[in-house]
Amino acid sequence: MARVPVDAAIVAQCRRVADSIAKDVQGFIDAHTTVGVERTVARSLGVTGADGEGTPLVVTAAWTPHRIAVARLRSSIHGTTTSEERVAA
């Protein structure tokens, strides 16, 4: 397979910029949403009950997407795969 010449310094700079953008976006999200809001939305969509450990499903519904999104963002910036991302796949 042909190799594409890539300047490692440019890749590193792109990762730093992406990290900065991601932090800005996350800051905006954190300022405009709460787990309480997400739980309310989940309840309004009909999420009820609990998992096998007794944790309400609205709690799982509110937190799981955040963990997966953060894991995917970190792996895309740093070029690694986390255990949370592997679970999400």
Query: So where are the chain's domains?
Result: 56-89
Across the chain, which has 89 residues, the per-10-residue mean pLDDT values are 89 94 87 77 83 82 65 65 49
Q: 3-state SS of the chain: helix, strand, coil percent to 5?
A: 70, 0, 25
The structure's pTM equals 0.42
Radius of gyration of the chain (CA): 18
CB within 8 A of 73, min separation 6: which ones? 22
Residue 33's alpha-carbon distances to 8, 19, 43, 66, in angstroms, are 37, 21, 16, 12
What's the start-to-end Cα distance of the chain, in Å? Answer: 27
